[in-house]
Structure 1
Amino acid sequence: MAADFASLGVKPWLVTSLGAMAIKRPTPIQAACIPEILKGKNCIGGSRTGSGKTVAFAVPILQMWAHDPFGVYALILTPTRELALQLAEQFTALGSPQNLKLCLVIGGVDMRTQAIALAQKPHVIIATPGRLADHIRSSGEDTIAGLRRVRFVVLDEADRLLEEGFAEELMECLSVVPDQFGDPKKGRPARQTLLFTATVTESVRALKAGEGRTREKGGREVFVSEIDTDSLAVPPTLHQTYLFKPSTVHLAFLHTLLSTPLNVKKSTIIFTNKKFTAQLLSHTLKPLGHRVTPLHSDLSQRERTDSLGRFRAGAARILIATDVAGRGLDIPEVELVINFDVPRDPDDYIHRIGRTARAGKKGESITFVDEKDVLLVKAIEERVGREMVEYVEEEGVSLEGRVVREELKKVSEMKRVAMLNIEEGRDEKGRKKAGKRRLDPVESGERKRIK
């Protein structure tokens, strides 16, 4: 592996920017991909969460842009708003010495303001496919003209973007950028395409399989690097457990589990399959004394950003989230991940529990299971290559006894109040919330109702 970034051909100003971010030595995925991208190759980069994939594509893009800083140079597409915001932070930090102009195009933000920013031809556009497709359909040629000459297109979390739920919006976004073959007669080079993911799926590999036909038509060579994408996706320092109980008492057990001496101070993410469940847990656990904050796609963009900020800063100990928080987010120091619902897709399970045990640290996951989840758990264990073990109670702590004796009635009462508050449109403190807002097309692969 390369000893430093300079040996990869990275310019001194970028080495300095990386150093200011406390990034001194390249990770394996960075060492593999940066030189090949600088050579002009398309790239498929697969590496586990937390391995530095963003730097692997941001550094070569910014180096080549600084050499020829014209118009809209790069378009980066990513599935969620939170990932887009995180990418924007890193690009801004790396590109600040060269006065990089960046435009963020995500839902929950005024479209008119975004259209004005797009028309000013920023150097880098970071977008979710749904919102960018909205602009392509409705904001006019002046807004999207800069996209027609981009040099780089990046699909971050490519396996997710290539799923069926994103197909329509993704195709619309790619329809306005240069194709992968270019037009030599008009002096337009083929765009450079970069795909990065923690899970190299068959849809991602299919793009590599089509390389021969692409090269015949004048397209670029494809470089593929897969590092720790499969069997090592679950860190060996992560202890995976399950708690087998009837679903009717899962919430009472969750409250009791979070209150035990071993867990009461742990930074925790609780994952649910549905937005309503995340709302219900948040409304129920907060009055029970837990410092919780929610993260799901029914929140406004400001609420989502503030919620993530509170959790990162430690103002909230527990983040209750749907899979919008399952991928790519840089959330340090998570000690415990709880799957309140068993995910339907084993890969989603891997992404969820990957929020803990990062950078060689220890972590624990607990998955709530009942009779209907047995087949899902077996599929997860087969995918991971490791069996979950039954959760062992702390010495002197009986979860079952405490739930039956002390907590079941109290939690049931709080749950009833929570459901009333949700039905009446109130927040966790019982305050009436504003009327229904218009919902944007979802970035998570499904489509929300637009009222």
Structure 2
Amino acid sequence: MSKFVKEKELQWKKVELDEIDHMNMDLDGFYMLEEIDGVDVVKLDQAGGLKTIGFEMKNIKAKKKKSKSAWSVTDTTEIEAPLHVESEDQEENEINKEKDAEELEENKIIESNDEIDITNSSWQGYDLNEKLTKQLIKGGYIEPTMIQQTVLSYLSNNPYANILVGSETGSGKTLAFVLPLINLLSTNQTGLIIAPTRELATQISQVVSIFTKATLLIGGISLEKQRRLLSHLDETKVVIATPGRFWDLLCESEELKEFLIKVQILVVDEADRLFYKTKKINEEFEKILKYLLEVVLNKNKKLRFWLFSATIQLADFDSDSCFGKFVQDGKLKFKQIGSKAATIKDRLSVFKVECLEERKGCFLYKYLHEKTGRIIVFFNSIKLIEKYILVLKKLFKSRKIYSLHAKQKQKDRLSALEKNRFEKNEDAILICSDVAARGLDIANVDVVVHFHVPRNIDVYLHRTGRTARLDKVGESIVFVSPKEHSAFDKLAKMFEIQVGLKVQKHSIEMNNIKKFQKEFNLAFDSVKETESKKYSKSSISEMELE
């Protein structure tokens, strides 16, 4: 006998794709494959002659597999129940298999970690548990950075404190909150990390996953897939999310609300981006904070807040916001630790190039032609990024050119930063918008180029902070047109006050400039002509359809 069911009632089975490098294949947003048996898709008649899609579930005949010998690890005899109701035995077998797999994996980690000697480790003295310390050393984290030492030392003595951590970009602040977060959470406790961008949330998730189970909730990925992830939240210690997607799921998910009640620590990375120094708070983030303060905090008095940023101070909180009122009224008391702003002046050189707006393209081409290494070029316009990626690929045929901006598909955005691509290529160029300026840990960037003057000092600081990270040296250069002079002079003065570095004037050598201008113009015109032909073809196709 068949039965009609809703889409949400279908029992999907995940198909493992471990051997497929799906991030580097042209799968057009394909992230996961799931399958289902015993279901027919049928058209159902509705009022008014409309037809809708329905799912007809059929009983599956019982199958009996031959049992293996007494030496088998598990008994494989099972009866398959109808798809919409799993038999208790089958469900228990699946749970046992998962537990066995987890125990095997955990045993592998323990066995390999047993060989690691932590007696004289630089991580000793911060009250980190032994397993965490061994995983750090195994992962290549030999000693803590300055900001990691500061945060770990403070929290080891003040585990229930609310903290606002100011740290220079590239200082290792991700590990500075991941380590104490995992270390302080007990068996039934959970943590939540909020980040302003998908890319930053993804990178944080990769770090957290080294040490414990994590769930990533971000936009650009199927909402239905992430709804299914919520059914496994009881297995997750830490959720990493962007505000928009987290709020959408929180509004409809009882599982997520139950998870939040157990949250002991909320970490906000790049807090200045979410609180906004202009006194405007991110809308979804404000709703999440309000829910935490008015609902969760009443049930969980131990909830604390860790805010990390390179620029934000306690004075920047908007007193009219829900969070600001709690701070102003003394209901939430914060300890400010770490540095106020960047302290990278010994490793960073900052320059400006004065040129006409129409000469910027040619000057960029010549500058990149003379510079080797890993270079990021920031634009204020996504349309120009889309154009320049094509132009530079024509001009640098033997050099890898990547792009990253907010209008790309999530797969393409992550792909540009995937291992063995930009980060692993010693002589590559990444053209991007400010989506890459916030917190992304891209290793060994030699130069940051600002094709346009940054919109404000925070953007200038965060863009520039992609280079000269940790102990590496780096260079930042801004192309300034006559109409941008006034705005950049103000930025340069604020940068000098906050960072302690004066912007130096850099001159582009004018020898062979005509040659570079000609080559750039040919490439630019070629791209423009190709785009024009594509537009004409699409227009003709539309006319034919009409």
Superposition TM-score, scaled by structure 2 size: 0.68
Partner of 2:268: 155
The answer to whether structure 1 residue 293 and structure 2 residue 402 are counterparts is yes
> In the TM superposition, what whole-angstrom CA distance separates every residue of 1:320-369 from its partner, at most 9, and x where no partner exists?
01111112111112111111111110221121122122233332222111
SS of 2:215's partner is strand
> In the TM superposition, what whole-angstrom CA distance separates every residue of 1:260-303 from its partner, at most 9, and x where no partner exists?
3xx1x321100011222211211221122252111011111110
Q: Do the aligned partners of 1:279 and 1:422 also contact (CA within 8 Å) in 2?
A: no
The answer to whether structure 1 residue 77 and structure 2 residue 194 are counterparts is yes
- 1:399 Cα offset (Å): 5.7
Q: 1:253 is matched with which residue: 363, 372, 379?
A: 363
Q: Do the aligned partners of 1:180 and 1:190 also contact (CA within 8 Å) in 2?
A: no
Q: Do the aligned partners of 2:391 and 2:527 also contact (CA within 8 Å) in 1?
A: yes
Using the alignment, how far apart are the partners of 2:531 and 2:343 within structure 1?
37
Please give the residue correspondences for 1:43-442 in structure 2 after superposition, counting only pairs within 5 Å: 43-65=163-185, 68-70=186-188, 73-93=190-210, 95=211, 100-121=212-233, 122-137=236-251, 139-163=252-276, 167-177=282-292, 182-183=297-298, 188-201=300-313, 202-203=315-316, 211=327, 213-215=329-331, 219=332, 221-227=333-339, 229-230=340-341, 232-260=342-370, 263=371, 265-289=372-396, 290-309=399-418, 310-314=421-425, 317-385=428-496, 386-393=501-508, 398=511, 400-404=513-517, 406-417=518-529, 419-420=531-532
Partner of 1:14: 132
- 1:225 Cα offset (Å): 0.6
SS of 1:287's partner is helix
SS of 1:79's partner is coil
> In the TM superposition, what whole-angstrom CA distance separates every residue of 1:177-232 from its partner, at most 9, and x where no partner exists?
3659944xx6x3231110001112442597799657335xxx5x5221132x33x4
Letter in 1 for 2:237: H
Partner of 2:141: 23
Gaps of at least 5 residues in structure 2 are: 1-119, 539-546
> In the TM superposition, what whole-angstrom CA distance separates every residue of 1:232-252 from its partner, at most 9, and x where no partner exists?
445333222222221122112
SS of 1:200's partner is coil
Letter in 2 for 1:294: S
CA gap of 1:14–1:382, structure 2 versus 1, over 3 A, is same
CA gap of 1:415–1:372, structure 2 versus 1, over 3 A, is farther
More divergent stretch after superposition (80-89 vs 193-202): 193-202
- 1:425 Cα offset (Å): 11
- 1:13 Cα offset (Å): 1.3
CA gap of 1:205–1:114, structure 2 versus 1, over 3 A, is same
More divergent stretch after superposition (19-28 vs 196-205): 196-205
Using the alignment, how far apart are the partners of 2:260 and 2:180 within structure 1?
19
User: RMSD between aligned alpha carbons?
Assistant: 2.9
Using the alignment, how far apart are the partners of 1:421 and 1:317 within structure 2?
30
Q: Do the aligned partners of 2:389 and 2:403 also contact (CA within 8 Å) in 1?
A: yes
SS of 1:170's partner is helix
Partner of 2:37: none
Gaps of at least 5 residues in structure 1 are: 427-451
Letter in 2 for 1:15: T
Q: Do the aligned partners of 2:160 and 2:302 also contact (CA within 8 Å) in 1?
A: no
Using the alignment, how far apart are the partners of 2:366 and 2:405 within structure 1?
24
> In the TM superposition, what whole-angstrom CA distance separates every residue of 1:115-146 from its partner, at most 9, and x where no partner exists?
12123222211001111122133x33344432
Q: How many aligned residue pairs are there? A: 401
Q: Do the aligned partners of 2:170 and 2:468 also contact (CA within 8 Å) in 1?
A: no
Using the alignment, how far apart are the partners of 2:201 and 2:296 within structure 1?
27
Q: Do the aligned partners of 2:196 and 2:270 also contact (CA within 8 Å) in 1?
A: yes
Using the alignment, how far apart are the partners of 1:352 and 1:205 within structure 2?
25
Using the alignment, how far apart are the partners of 2:182 and 2:461 within structure 1?
31
Partner of 2:544: none
Superposition TM-score, scaled by structure 1 size: 0.81
CA gap of 1:399–1:200, structure 2 versus 1, over 3 A, is farther
SS of 1:109's partner is coil
Using the alignment, how far apart are the partners of 2:348 and 2:520 within structure 1?
30
SS of 2:458's partner is helix
CA gap of 1:150–1:420, structure 2 versus 1, over 3 A, is farther
- 1:254 Cα offset (Å): 1.4
- 1:60 Cα offset (Å): 1.5
CA gap of 1:399–1:361, structure 2 versus 1, over 3 A, is farther
Please give the residue correspondences for 1:27-38 in structure 2 after superposition, counting only pairs within 5 Å: 27-38=145-156
Larger radius of gyration: 2
> In the TM superposition, what whole-angstrom CA distance separates every residue of 1:8-48 from its partner, at most 9, and x where no partner exists?
21111111111122223222222222243342111111110
- 1:3 Cα offset (Å): 8.3
CA gap of 1:55–1:108, structure 2 versus 1, over 3 A, is same
CA gap of 1:212–1:133, structure 2 versus 1, over 3 A, is closer
Q: Do the aligned partners of 1:180 and 1:192 also contact (CA within 8 Å) in 2?
A: no
- 1:376 Cα offset (Å): 1.7
- 1:172 Cα offset (Å): 2.1
Using the alignment, how far apart are the partners of 1:247 and 1:425 within structure 2?
32
Partner of 1:434: none
